[in-house]
Structure 1
Amino acid sequence: MTTHTLEQEKHSDFLKQERIDPITGDILQEGDNVVICASCKSAFLVDSWSYMDYKHCNQTHTLREIPRQEAVKIDRESRTERLDKLAFFQFRTVKQSEITSIYTGFFALIGAIASYFSYLLNMNFILVGVAAVLVGIGIGKKMYKQKQLILDSGHFIINNGQKNELIEGVDVKTISTEKDTFFSFLANSILFNKEEDFYHLVITTKDNKTHRFFIAEREKRRIEEATNILKKYATPNHSQIPVQNIPPSLDNTNNRLDLGS
């Protein structure tokens, strides 16, 4: 296993990508000790790599060097042309713990109100309150499963913890965002005051299978500014994949994506 300590001067290009640990959801920063999966090129904190029993993509190999993205000449190019050459983008999904905390808080309030009236009616008010909290936790974990999404060299890589799923760009039918009205209402209420809405990023493949990722409004804006996928995949009649990507330049390693079974 090869670990790398991120340094601003030595790994500035890598740090500018603001990669996220797929396990913790934390942005990788200067000073972090990281491991790079040799198969999918995902970056993990050392503790996350240990948590996964030192393996990912059904293998244990790690890269000896931090991946370097090849420089792309952008002089006199339009913004669309620059976005067409995007080689790597990691989407920042909302942590499941944040979602669960909001639902738990909401249902805890409902439980407290119900417990009060249960007390007045001489009912088991403690049981009502506990049940409400459990409902909030259950909704947060069941409806909003933690998933990570990476765009790398024309492929969409979905990470569900220890398992990766790869979607070729040509197999994508549409990509859109849907506002989660109820959760946004709760998050922006006086209880939580998040001051932003929340959305589902929905990827629909040509076999009509859908993949949903929960994102905040600030991430929706970042996607619109840093990529062109929402425009390219706005309709099923798109004629090309969202990016004509330049894969990361790697030393002494196979650059082919092999995510295993």
Structure 2
Amino acid sequence: MIAQDGETSKKESSLLKIRRCVMNNFGDDDSGQLTEMMDLLGVISDLEAQIKQAEEKLKKCAIDNVRRLVEEGGDHSAIYWICAANGMAKVVKDEYLNTTGVNLVPKSLYAPIYCRDCGSKGEHVIKSISGLKDWFSKSVYPLFTCDDCEQKQAEARKKHSELRRSREAELANMPYREYLKTPEWKDRRVRALSFAKHRCQLCNASGVQLDVHHRTYADRGNEKMRDLIVLCHPCHSKHHDKGGY
């Protein structure tokens, strides 16, 4: 207790030193905010001292319980994981080794997790300190995707992919004038104009009517930006006169 009082006095002395130094450099604060801040620093210092004292008590309690369970032949896993959550796993392991002469191998910790889609409950196996920290970092109850939902999602992705390929084949084989009326082409045309910043990509003209021309029809229905070029009417005509598509 004397040591604790001495430590508290030392902290108070440090706070007073800081305050005097600040006042000497910048003058006193008539608003009282400086005093309030110093008071809050004092509260923080007191809480830090209490935390340190509680940690010492936890350490002693853990050591006592390890020894008790060794005598009773009980399982040390619960004590280990509780202390691990507070950064004291080494205390338990060291005391167990000192008492028994063998290394402590705690049982795995099974934490609840829930499927993000259907809400079904599962278990997350924690085998190490890093695994515990990873579980803590996610949330109290981390989410996962259960096997049933994974299968449903895989089937949905496969169906979507099949429909997309079927639609692309339909777009590629329909008459060209009919293709130009499809929502897919209208969307690509808008994106091509935006990509070109609404300027002709040959003469840089703007504020004129622009056409989106195909460089190639190889990927019709699934065009990339490199397959298209934005042209004004004069450049478009010249392009065709030179034998362009």
TM-score by length of structure 1 reads 0.24
- RCO (CA 8 Å, sep 6+): is it higher in 1 or 2? 1
Q: Is the radius of gyration larger for structure 1 or structure 2?
A: 2
